[in-house]
């Protein structure tokens, strides 16, 4: 079993300690660093290069949104999971715009945090389907990105586009497989190929990139 290496970015020491204790109960989790500020989060991410960074919003020096944007810019393969008390749509949208792979509230059960870490590490969505639909509706109403951006969306196959369209609804690999007549393993293979072509590391990033560029059409939903 491979180890999932995690960095915690949270300015409240008690919350940070409690989250670390929760995560370290799992034999395949290793917390490799803790940050109390956004600047520290970036420094530790660069030094430790974790698989997952768990990020709060309100931190000194630099907030979690800005820290996420910088981490994804420098190390795009680090998946960011937001764990926060803020549930406003605008915070969700801002974090996803910055490159976060998932968004959880701090009042979720402990086992949900563990599940979410594994999910973002595997490229699975960690956004409630309702939130995903609102996010997609918001993004689809924005102007397309500049054509000079080097994302190979035009090279997605027809099947990859179908898989990504289903992912835009927040469906898991198993549900996508049921809808398209594919095995979950085949769906996972398609998702890996999509990530490589779009140069992203999570399903959320892939869906956002494709919707912005008009590759995935959700206008009929």
* pTM exceeding 0.95: no
Name the residue among 31, 37, 39, 42 with its Cα closest to residue 3. 31
Q: Using the 8-state DSSP alphabet, how is residue 87 labeled? A: -
**Of the candidate ranges 57-61, 157-161, 198-202, the one whose mean pLDDT is the lowest:** 198-202
pLDDT at position 12: 94
CATH class of 4-122: alpha beta
pLDDT, tens only, 13-41: 999 999 999 999 999 999 999 999 999 99
CATH of 144-212, one of 3.40.50.2300, 1.10.10.10, 3.40.50.740, 3.40.50.720: 1.10.10.10
Sheet containing 4-9: give its strands across. 29-35, 4-9, 52-55, 79-84, 102-105
4-122 against 144-212: fold identical: no
Identify the three-state secondary structure at position 81.
Answer: strand
Neighbouring C-alpha atoms within 13 Å toward the C-beta of 86: 16
Domain boundaries, the chain: 4-122, 144-212
pLDDT, tens only, 127-158: 766 666 677 767 666 544 444 444 455 578 88
């Amino acid at each position: 079993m491979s180890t999932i290496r995690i960095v915690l970015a949270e300015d409240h020491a008690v919350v940070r300690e409690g989250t670390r204790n929760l995560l370290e109960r799992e034999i395949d989790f290793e917390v490799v660093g803790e940050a109390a500020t956004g600047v520290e989060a970036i420094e530790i991410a660069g030094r430790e290069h974790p698989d997952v960074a768990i990020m709060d919003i309100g931190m000194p020096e630099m907030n979690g949104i800005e820290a996420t944007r910088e981490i994804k810019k420098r190390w795009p393969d680090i998946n960011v999971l937001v764990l926060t008390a803020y549930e406003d749509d605008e915070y969700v949208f801002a974090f996803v715009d910055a490159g976060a792979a998932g968004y959880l509230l701090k009042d979720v059960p402990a086992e949900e945090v563990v599940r979410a870490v594994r999910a973002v590490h595997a490229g699975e969505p960690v956004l409630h389907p309702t939130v995903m639909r609102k996010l997609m509706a918001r993004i689809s109403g924005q102007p397309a990105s500049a054509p000079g951006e080097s994302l190979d969306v035009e090279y997605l196959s027809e099947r990859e586009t179908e898989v990504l369209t289903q992912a835009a609804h927040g469906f898991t690999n198993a549900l996508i497989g049921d809808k398209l007549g594919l095995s979950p393993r085949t769906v996972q293979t398609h998702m890996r190929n999509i990530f490589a072509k779009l140069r992203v590391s999570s399903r959320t990033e892939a869906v956002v990139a494709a919707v912005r560029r008009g590759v995935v059409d959700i206008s009929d939903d």
